[in-house]
Amino acid sequence: MKPVTITITAQLLDYNELTAQQRQLVDAAKRSSEKAYAPYSRFNVGAAVLLDNGEMVVGNNQENAASPSSLCAERVTMYSANALWPNVAPSAIAIAAFNDAGFLAQPISPCGACRQVLAETEQRYGKPIEVLLYGTEGILVFHCVDDLLPFSFSRLQLDYGK
């Protein structure tokens, strides 16, 4: 037997411990959550992606009466960034969410499907995308998406053996 151990370190920071650029990204994600279309869940999520060219792309969750047609904020935002700037690597993404009680106290946790999409973008450009998960009690900062989805399925596996 050969145990495999993965250790992941994230930082839980107060808002005022963030850099000015991180604060800007978190603020943009929070603002964007206010434009979400979430009449069914009333769970409003916003995201903001910072690109290497200095551009910022924002998005939010878009729900539909035919619920599988809905899309999370992270995918709306990252797909939009990839569509607008197909040759520019993202360097960070911030995510924030509020419900009827206000912004979540604990950092929002992206779903598995969104992690998969963020992971492929990270692999595509070959550089880490910092992930900032906003909560009113602290912002959880991951160095890269791979830390949120270790052992991810990737195109490398599709090509395996070819």
Annotated catalytic residues are 74
With CB under 6 A as the contact rule, the residue among 84, 111, 137, 150 that binds ligand THU is 111
SS (H, E, C) 30-75: HHHHCCCECCCCCCEEEEEEEECCCCEEEEECECCCCHHHCECHHH
- The answer to whether residue 99 forms part of the interface with ligand THU (CB under 6 A) is no
Q: How far apart are CA 128 and CA 135, in angstroms?
A: 22
With CB under 6 A as the contact rule, the residue among 28, 29, 45, 58 that binds ligand THU is 45
At its nearest, how many Å lie between ligand THU and the CB of residue 54? 25
Greatest Cα pair distance, the chain, in angstroms, is 52
Look at the chain and count its residues: 162
- The answer to whether residue 12 forms part of the interface with ligand THU (CB under 6 A) is no
Residues at the interface with ligand THU (CB under 6 A)? 38, 41, 43, 45, 61, 63, 70, 72-74, 108, 110-111, 114
